[in-house]
Structure 1
C-alpha cells in the first residue's frame, strides 16, 4: 500500500496494529512458539513483510540465538524495522523487495504476518510457492492476515466487527468505519477455505488453523519432509 512508502504514515505505524488486530502481541508469541516446535536454537528465519520490525523484535527477544532475513518492498518500513530491532539489529539482514528478492536458503522456518491480504490469489500462490522453495524439508511456515467469508452479508458483518474492535481500541469511529470499508473494497480478500487451499496448492502439508480474531485468520503448515 502507498501509505507504507509515506514517511509520515510509517512514523506512526506501530500504533496501528495493536488497535486494529485483536491479540496482536499474542499473535507474535503464538507464532514464535509454533516456529520453535521445529526450528533449532540457532535457527534462521525468513520473514516476508518484515517492514516495521514488530514481529522481528518479538522473535529476537524471545529467541536470542535465532537469526533473521526480513524482506519488504518499502525502504521506509525497513528503516523503521532496523530501529525497532535496536540491539538485535545485527542478527537480521533486511532486504528491500518482494519474495523473489529473498535468498535461496534453506531456512529453518518462515513467517508472513498481516501481508498476504495485499496480494491477489495468483500473487499469493506465487509467494507461498517461493516460501516453500526456501524452506528446508519439514520446516514450518506461519501466516496470518484478513480472511473472511465472501458472501456479501457475511463479509459486511465481519468487516463491521473489525470496525467495532478498532473503535473500541481508541480509533475514531468514523476512521474505523472508513478503514473497514477500504479493506472490503480495495483488498483482494479471500475466504478462509480459499486461503487454506492455497497453502496446500503451494506444496505445504495440511494447514492448521491456530488464530481466529474477527476478520483475521492464521495458519501453520510445514514443507513436507520429502525434498520434492
Structure 2
C-alpha cells in the first residue's frame, strides 16, 4: 500500500512493524472493504485466476484473498522493500504457500505483463500526484485481460463544487470530511494530537481528488462501467473493468 510518493515512514522499521494496526484505525470498515473487494473480484476471476496487487506492502489484502480463494495466484508490487518483507512474513505465518505469491520490488511498471484476471489497488492512489494518476491506472489496465476487474479504494473527498450552483463552500466541505477522518482515528484509539497532525498532513501533502475526478481518471485510462461500491468518511472505493 505504498508508492514512490508515499511518506518515507514506510521504510522506518518501527512504522513497518506497527503497520497492520494502521488501516483499521484509519479506514472505516476496513475489514469489510477487504471482503467486498474479493467478492467483487470473484465475480469475474476464475477459481484458478491470477491477480495483480498494486501496493502490496504489508500483505493484508494478499492474506485475505489468498486464504479465501486457495486457487488464486498473486503478483504483488510495492516500492518499499521493508513493507514487502512484512508481507512475505505475514503470508508465511498465515500458511500461504510461497509458490502462490510473487512479490516484486518497484512500481506498477515493475509488475509482470500478465495478463491478469483481476487487480486491486487499495489505499495507494492517494499517494500518486494528480498528473501521474492516468498513466498509473493505464499501466494496470495494460496488464489485464479483457473484461478483467479492477478494485480501487483510497482517499477521495468531495469539495462542494457545483452543489449549490455557485461553488461556495467547497473548501469547507473538504475540511469537514477530513475532520471526520481524524475523528474516526480518535474514536479508534489514536491520540487526538496525532490524529490532527495526520489530518493536516493529508490536506497538505496528498493529492486527494474528488470522487468525480477519480472516476474520470479510470475512464481516461481505458476502464469502463466505473461503479462506486464503498464510502467510509473520506475514503471511496470503485470496481471497474477493462474492455476492448
TM-score range, shorter chain: over 0.9
1:93 partner SS: strand
Partner residue, 1:48: 54
- Residues 96-141 of structure 1: per-residue CA shift (max 9 Å, x gap): 0000001100000000000000001221111100100000000000
Partner residue, 1:146: 155
Partner residue, 1:74: 80
Could you tell me how far apart the structure 2 residues matched to 1:143 and 1:75 are?
22
Partner residue, 2:123: 114
Partner residue, 1:177: 196
Q: Does 1:161 align with 2:169?
A: no
199, 216, 222: which one aligns with 2:218: 199
17, 20, 29: which one aligns with 2:26: 20
In the TM superposition, residue 156 of structure 1 has moved relative to its aligned partner by 0.5
- Residues 52-87 of structure 1: per-residue CA shift (max 9 Å, x gap): 000000000100110000000000000000011122
Q: Number of paired residues?
A: 225
CA RMSD for the aligned pairs? 0.8
- Residues 168-213 of structure 1: per-residue CA shift (max 9 Å, x gap): 0100111111111111111011100000000000000121000000
Partner residue, 2:237: 218
1:138 partner SS: coil
Q: Does 1:131 align with 2:133?
A: no
Could you tell me how far apart the structure 2 residues matched to 1:200 and 1:80 are?
33
Indicate conservation of the 8 Å contact 1:82/1:89, yes or no: no
2, 6, 17: which one aligns with 1:11: 17
Could you tell me how far apart the structure 2 residues matched to 1:45 and 1:121 are?
26
Could you tell me how far apart the structure 2 residues matched to 1:147 and 1:106 are?
29
Indicate conservation of the 8 Å contact 1:203/1:223, yes or no: yes
Could you tell me how far apart the structure 2 residues matched to 1:122 and 1:181 are?
22
Q: Normalising to structure 1: TM-score of the pair?
A: 0.97
